[in-house]
Amino acid sequence: MRRALDLYTGNEEALRMRYESDISPTIISAKLKLVDSCNLKCFMCRYWTRKRTGDLNTEEVCRVLDGLAALKCKKVHFTGGEIFMRKDALFLMEYAHILGIRVTLTTNGTLLNKEKIKRLLRIPARSITLSIDGPHPKIHDTIRGQKNAFKKTLNTLTLLSKHKRRKNKIRINTVVNQRNHTYLPELAYLLQQFSIDSWLLIPMDAWEEKNKVPTLVDIKRYNTIVAPLLEEIVHLENFSPWIYGKTNGDLNSSAQQHYARSYYQKKPCFIPWFHVLVGPKGDIYPCCGTHRLIKPLGNIREQGIAELFNGEQYQQFRAQMRAKRLEQCHHCDDFLSENQALEVLREKIV
């Protein structure tokens, strides 16, 4: 999204006009959550409790991609659940690429073999994010709820690292939680053995498992011991270990899971004008942070994406977001750098 937004941000006046209107003529990026299920059982996630029945079929997803291309969408992120539970995952990514859309994805990496990996790299998938939550099976497999998950994901990382081409970026996501935060320096040393382009530490969002989110004591320990070590070990572009902030106020907010320190209570979110999320069964939402937490803004089985993106419900949503963000937004830390960059532009001209 950052790269895609960078392509947009040159035109300040256009940004102001877009934000002041309830209509948005183009989409910059989309997230397709195409599978309502998973082969792993991560303790911090609920996807594996869901059923795949009723997921969009190949033809329906192709129609969404056609609609996105018509709206000049520059990037589509494929995810789930676990996207490779779909037999047509690679075909859909290839189809998006043929339409001129940049393809990115997130996967747990356990369902890929050498042949699929080579096909994925050839598309070319521009950014492939693998989730790794610990430096060895004892931590990773416990978090991911599946024996051998670590071995399979590491095998995928090895193959990706070996066969990647100039256009493929390999990224790692790690959800920081009570079980793994002290093991992150060990994970940092492990990752140094591979050709990766970035490593994102994600503060865990609690669902029903509140007890495994780091407490204020954990966060203080992390900031005193783990983060400084990580800063020394990791030299990847844009890597930051300071996911909970640095001041006492930041740490207190993070212990309440206000990871963006309530940025969106005060400042706008431009995402409903630029981005769309399509859920496994065709429901559409403005973003991941609102997925299943608000009423969907329509379903692509009933109308095309272009009609929905500028339909009555979407227009009302934009008007409402301009006036006041939602309760969900106060916990959100998505698109923070993009929104901060856009707000700097908007403030320049108001």
Number of residues that bind ligand SAM (CB under 6 A): 16
Cα separation, 29 vs 271, whole angstroms = 10
Of 29, 37, 104, 107, the residue at the interface with ligand SAM (CB under 6 A) is 107
Phi, psi of 176, deg, nearest 5: -85, 125
Of 101-109, 156-164, 215-223, 304-312, the window that binds ligand SAM (rule: CB under 6 A) is: 101-109
Answer positive or negative: Cα dihedral of 149, 288, 122, 175.
negative
Least Å from the CB of residue 47 to ligand SAM = 6
Tokens (6 digits) for 196: 């990766």
Residue type (1 letter), 236: L
For the packed helices 149-163 and 137-144, what is the interaxial angle rounded to 10 degrees? 110
Q: Which residue has the tokens 């329509």?
A: 298
Position 79 contacts ligand SAM (CB under 6 A): yes
Helix, strand, coil shares of the chain as percentages rounded to 5? Answer: 45, 10, 40
Closer residue to ligand SAM in complex, CB, 136/348: 136
Residue 332: contacted member of ligand SAM, ligand SF4, none (CB under 5 to 8 Å, by partner type): ligand SF4
- Site residues for ligand SAM, 163-182, by CB under 6 A, read 173, 175
Least Å from the CB of residue 207 to ligand SF4 = 11
Cα separation, 25 vs 342, whole angstroms = 18
Report the run of H or E that residue 70 belongs to, with start and end: helix 58-70
Closer residue to ligand SAM in complex, CB, 19/150: 150
Cα separation, 309 vs 25, whole angstroms = 9
Position 80 contacts ligand SF4 (CB under 6 A): yes
Tokens (6 digits) for 240: 């930051």
Of 30, 32, 45, 68, the residue at the interface with ligand SF4 (CB under 6 A) is 45
Residue 223: contacted member of ligand SF4, ligand SAM, none (CB under 5 to 8 Å, by partner type): none
Of 200-208, 224-232, 268-276, 326-334, the window that binds ligand SAM (rule: CB under 6 A) is: 200-208
Chain residues in the site for ligand SF4 (CB under 6 A) = 38, 40, 42, 45, 47-48, 80-82, 108, 144, 264, 269, 271-272, 286-287, 289-290, 325-326, 328-329, 332, 334-335
